[in-house]
Structure 1
């Protein structure tokens, strides 16, 4: 489903990724681990098309994602890839459902359809009583579940998560980890997760360790 070949990336004279090859199958939960500075987040940003490699290619469903115009790439990213970050990145002035709906509306979908999908996701994630709450009225765990719902609003092929439980207490972290596996089991969702959390890495179907810009074998 996802394939990356010979990914290289440098910032100035500093090489960060030094020839990464990986393949992710549909329905996998894959953890990317490694020490700080190993290139984990850089790799995740390239897989998510938020950054371009200096060399190499990324394919999602056999589509060369960087072999298209910037406009088409942005549209592809919006519909095919969902993102969950450590600090939620929810807009404070909007309610839970409004935050979830944003990628669907950006994609030009009909508002009523997007709202129905958002309500269904919030219900699935145990947040039906928090629909109209703003982020400041929600716990950290609830905010992160809203971020997961937002990532899923366009039914993306792939969800990429960068330290998704890094800002949560242990109880909420466990609940978030279990949620990922529930979504994989129930709807076949694919996750690639950068994490320092050893428990989450151990739960994953596969662990990819980066060291000095390369996959450790």
Structure 2
């Protein structure tokens, strides 16, 4: 059974059709990259797959749940519990330490504080940040900040992680390290990842590379 499946997803902005019937199936443990020219609909699709936006028509199932059958409150809860996000700009809260930033999604869903802090610490150690847990984002390098963001995305053990240009703000060395990290997460934890990227090296490393062109999907 597919972990994620879309059926004829369509999205218009005014009279402009951006997504013209996207059918997509992603299996557990897959790393899938999505590429395409600017304006092709990549970010719009990612926002819909991540339940941050609703399509005009079509269906999205994640882990057996028809997510757009949920109301806004239920959908927000599902998103917090089952979906992780990594963005180009890491969106870390500057007044919180690395550990506190990672813990936040766990606290939001009401998990036990001690358990959340323990898992956050383990994730940061796994990602090579053992000595950075008490540092503020301003005290971290760009690569370290993005690894904190990856740990935050994983804190609630999501079914799937969506990454939007995750290495777009990094130099080549840190970008390569981040790319390797994604595949380590797949290999060691069976994590499913969907990555929107302009980085052809990262896109080609994925199990599958999908191309959006004129609002349609091609393999």
TM-score bracket, shorter-length normalisation: over 0.9
**What per-residue deviation string (whole Å, max 9, x for no partner) do you get for residues 104-148 of structure 1?**
000011111100010000010000100000000000000000000
Matched, 1:126 2:161: no
Deviant stretches of 4+, over 4 Å: none
Alpha-carbon distance, 1:14 to partner: 1.2
Residue 96 of structure 2, aligned match among 94, 103, 124:
94
Matched, 1:23 2:25: yes
Residue 153 of structure 1, aligned match among 148, 152, 155:
155
Match of 1:106 in 2: 108
SS in structure 2 of the partner of residue 73 of structure 1: helix
Alpha-carbon separation, structure 2, partners of 1:138 and 1:50: 28
Match of 2:12 in 1: 10
Between the two proteins, the alignment pairs up a number of residues equal to 217
Alpha-carbon separation, structure 1, partners of 2:137 and 2:63: 35
Alpha-carbon distance, 1:216 to partner: 2.6
Matched, 1:138 2:140: yes
SS in structure 1 of the partner of residue 167 of structure 2: coil
Alpha-carbon separation, structure 1, partners of 2:133 and 2:72: 34
Match of 1:200 in 2: 202
Matched, 1:71 2:78: no
SS in structure 2 of the partner of residue 149 of structure 1: helix
Alpha-carbon separation, structure 1, partners of 2:218 and 2:127: 35
Matched, 1:61 2:63: yes
TM-score w.r.t. structure 1 length?
A: 0.99
TM-score w.r.t. structure 2 length?
A: 0.98
- When the two chains are superposed, the root-mean-square deviation of aligned CA atoms in Å is 0.6
Match of 2:46 in 1: 44
Alpha-carbon separation, structure 1, partners of 2:131 and 2:117: 15
Matched, 1:216 2:180: no
Alpha-carbon distance, 1:13 to partner: 1.4
SS in structure 1 of the partner of residue 116 of structure 2: helix
Within a 5 Å distance, the mapping from 1:178-189 to structure 2 comes to 178-189=180-191
Match of 2:37 in 1: 35
Alpha-carbon distance, 1:12 to partner: 1.1
Alpha-carbon distance, 1:61 to partner: 1.4
